[in-house]
Each structure stands twice: as C-alpha cells, then as structure tokens.
C-alpha cells in the first residue's frame, strides 16, 4: 500500500544498527519490553501502558505529528508492522500475533485477539482519481496533496473483545463491532455488527455470539448485561474478581454504555469515584461532579447531538477511575 511505502522510506532514514538500536530503545522507551532486532522509529508521539512488549523483527514507525498508543499489557508479536500515518490506538490487554500489519488511522479496542497475518489499513492504492494515469503516479499525487490525503484516508475501528482470525484483511473505513469474530482468510468489506460472526470473501454473517439488543436498564450484577457496558470497562474475569470490592464495573477516562433510549430523554447512573475527593464526568456537554460514595447522577440526552444507542462519558482528569453499578434510561 502507498501508506506502507511512505512509512518504510521514513524508517530507513531513522534506523541505526541493530545493536545500537537495542541500546537506544532501552534508553528512550523505558518500561516497555522491546526485543532485540525490533526497529522503533519515532518522530511523533509513542505512548504505552505498563506490561507492553514488542517482539523480535517488528517495525514500529511513528512519523512527525503521528501517534501510536499501546494500552496496558499489550502484546505485539514478531515481525509485526505498526505504521501510524495519523493515529493508531491499541487498547488494554490486546494481542497482535506474528506478522500483523496495521497502517494509517486505526483503533483496536480492549481485549482483542488478532491472529497472525492480519492486515488493517485506513489507506489504499489510488487507481480511480485519474484513471488513465499510472497507479503509482496517482499514489504520489495523493501523498503530495494534504487535501487528497485527508479525503482518501478512511479510519478503521475494531471495538472491544473482537477476534480476527489468521490472514484476515480489513478494508478502509469500516467498523467491526464489539465482540465480533472474523473467520480465517476472510476479507471484510462491510461493517460487522456487534457480536456477529462473519467469514468468507467478502465476509458475510454466518451466526451470532449472542443477540445484541440493548436494554433500558443494566446492572453490573447481571451477567447478561455485561455486553452493554460497551467500552472502556475492566470487564475480564481477572478484573471482575480484582475489582469485586468496588461493587461496580470499573472504568477509567472514557467509557461507553449501550442502552435502548428510543423512549425517555435522560441517562441515569449509579456511580462513584474510586479515590478520595471528587472528579468530573462529562456527557452530552454536561458536567457533573462525582464523589467517592455511590450516587445517582442524571444527564439529559439531546437526540440531535448524542448517539443514544452508544452513550460516551468522559472523565476530567482523564486518569479518574469510576465504579458504575447501574445505568438506565429515564
């Protein structure tokens, strides 16, 4: 792909010898395990949480003004290629197995498993801008124009708890919904619904993990409600046990709830801040103070500005942690 070629050209000018690179990586990127033989070329921003590792032979490219963000306990296997043309975000506890390639503007959520040889890119070769011109010349035309580069770039989103099988390719501009499974050797050309299981070329729905039907009320105590604590929650069995004393599902920074808000105009939360003192929670341009004891808070939902099937909430400061016991539509 043209994005890959541009990033490789950038990397060639940045990489020192392998021994020097290993020493430089250990000095520059403390707290992340980078195997000898991995290349890390960073001119932009490289963020990572605790417990991350990058395998031997992997190539990480972050040009100027680009971002690569790895969440906590991310595993990047051997000979993986991560080339951020804008922003690549990989969520907590997600694994990228050997030879995965992720390029451009791509977000992969928490608890995802990408098998070997998965390919995801927000860009493509250009063959139809000037049809009579060589494809390589059309690619150069796009790279030379900021406006064209923006319009031709189509970000990809893989939501939490997805499993992409070996040799899967995901086309630009798609959303793979939470909990989806993509069968081996599939080419994904359309959005995948939450908890859908797709396979084939092009990938088509073959069954569902569960019927995803957002209810009006969810509780952390009801196992069937856990899928609707949609994103940003520490929802693995390990963390459910670890956070049992919090008496709610724990989230940090930004989190998303999926509820049936077809009737009713307000979001109600039973929530507390998991530290002494208060923090601010923001939803639909409303700001509410959350203290360290459970309280009911209410946000008005403006259907003209809020996706009422996926309700995003954001904390200030972004490191604030909350326990959410219940959520419902009023």
Question: Would you name the residues annotated as active-site residues?
Answer: 125
Spatial distance between the Cα atoms of 287 and 191, rounded to a whole number of angstroms:
33
- According to the 3-state scheme, what is the secondary structure of 109-158? CCCCEECCCCEEECCCCCCCCCCCCCHHHHHHHHHHCHHHHHHHCCCEEE
The residue among 40, 48, 1 whose CA lies nearest residue 18 is 40
3-state DSSP call for residue 231? Answer: strand
Q: Which residue has the tokens 């899967």?
A: 168
Spatial distance between the Cα atoms of 11 and 243, rounded to a whole number of angstroms:
42
The residue among 208, 206, 306 whose CA lies nearest residue 256 is 306
Measured CA distances, 251 to 179, 270, 285 (Å): 18, 13, 20
Q: Which residue has the tokens 């020192």?
A: 16
């Amino acid at each position: 792909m043209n994005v890959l070629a541009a990033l490789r050209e950038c990397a060639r000018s940045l990489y020192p010898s392998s021994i020097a690179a290993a020493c430089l990586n250990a000095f520059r990127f403390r707290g992340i395990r980078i195997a000898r033989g991995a290349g890390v070329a960073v001119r932009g921003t490289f963020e990572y949480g605790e417990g991350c590792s990058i395998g031997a032979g992997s190539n990480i490219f972050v040009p100027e003004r680009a971002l690569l963000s790895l969440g906590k306990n991310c595993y990047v296997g051997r000979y993986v290629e991560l080339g951020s043309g804008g922003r690549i975000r990989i969520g907590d506890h997600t694994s990228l197995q050997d030879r995965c390639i992720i390029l451009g503007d791509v977000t992969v959520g928490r608890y995802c498993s990408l098998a070997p040889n998965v390919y995801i890119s927000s860009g493509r070769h250009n063959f139809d801008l000037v049809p009579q011109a060589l494809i390589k010349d059309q690619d150069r035309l796009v790279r030379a124009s900021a406006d064209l580069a923006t319009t031709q770039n189509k970000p990809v989103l893989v939501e939490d708890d997805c499993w992409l099988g070996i040799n899967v390719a995901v086309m630009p501009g798609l959303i793979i919904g939470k909990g989806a499974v993509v069968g081996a050797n599939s080419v994904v050309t359309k959005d995948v619904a939450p908890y859908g299981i797709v396979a084939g070329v092009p990938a088509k729905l073959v069954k569902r993990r569960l019927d995803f039907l957002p209810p009006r009320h969810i509780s952390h105590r009801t196992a069937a409600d856990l899928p609707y604590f949609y994103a940003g929650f520490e929802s693995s069995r390990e963390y459910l046990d670890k956070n049992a004393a919090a008496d709610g599902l724990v989230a940090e920074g930004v989190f998303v709830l999926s509820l049936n808000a077809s009737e009713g105009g307000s979001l109600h939360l039973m929530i507390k801040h998991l530290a002494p003192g208060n923090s601010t929670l923001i939803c639909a341009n409303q700001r509410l103070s959350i203290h360290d004891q459970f309280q009911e808070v209410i946000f008005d939902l403006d259907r003209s500005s809020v996706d009422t099937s996926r309700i995003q909430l954001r904390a200030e400061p972004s490191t604030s942690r909350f326990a959410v016991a219940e959520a419902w539509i009023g």
